């Protein structure tokens, strides 16, 4: 005799194992010296934003202190943060880029 039981979906199983990598938010922080157009250029060149998107993020940072450039896997986020900070230092601007764990 065969007993049947419902197929267990991953969601219903006791401990679903996520196959998605943890994501990290890359943020820009405000300062009083970095020129607005420099920030916009960085956002377009390193984060692939359009001019309008870049302008919106830059203004968000300018008005609220921080703004999100994007969410990435850890390695990509680390690379973007380094690139922003290096370019800013080359131009002797105090622009700060950081990352934090996203959900
Ligand atoms: N607050 C800067 C200014 O008034 C502009 C700025 C925007 C600086 C975003 C940093 O991440 C930043 N020139």
CATH architecture observed for domain 24-101: 2-Layer Sandwich (3.30)
Q: Is the ipTM of this complex over 0.95?
A: yes
Average pLDDT over residues 16-31: 94
**Residue boundaries of the structural domains of the chain:** 24-101
Q: Whose CA is nearest to atom 2 of ligand 1?
A: 32
Q: Whose CA is nearest to atom 12 of ligand 1?
A: 30
**Mean pLDDT, rounded, of the chain:** 92
Q: Probe ligand 1: pick from 58, 87, 96, max atoms within 8 Å of CB?
A: 58
- Residue 8 pLDDT grade (very low, low, confident, very high; cuts 50, 70, 90): low
- For the entire predicted model, the pTM comes to 0.85
Rounded CA separation 4/2 (Å): 6
Is 60 exceeded by the pLDDT of residue 69? yes
Q: Whose CA is nearest to atom 3 of ligand 1?
A: 32
- Residue 7 pLDDT grade (very low, low, confident, very high; cuts 50, 70, 90): low
Average pLDDT over residues 47-57: 98
- Cβ atoms < 10 Å from Cβ of 58: 23
Rounded CA separation 96/48 (Å): 18
Q: Which residues line ligand 1 (CB under 6 A)?
A: 28-32, 34-36, 39, 58, 61-62, 95
Rounded CA separation 97/4 (Å): 56
């Amino acid at each position: 005799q065969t007993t049947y039981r419902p197929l267990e979906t991953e969601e219903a199983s006791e401990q679903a194992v996520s196959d998605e990598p943890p994501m990290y938010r890359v943020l820009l922080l405000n300062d009083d010296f970095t020129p607005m157009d420099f920030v916009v250029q960085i956002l377009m060149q390193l984060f692939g934003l359009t001019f309008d998107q870049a302008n919106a993020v830059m203004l968000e940072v300018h008005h609220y202190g921080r703004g999100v450039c994007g969410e990435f896997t850890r390695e990509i986020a680390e690379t973007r943060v380094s690139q922003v900070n290096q370019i800013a230092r080359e131009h002797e601007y105090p622009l700060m880029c950081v990352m934090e764990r996203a959900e």
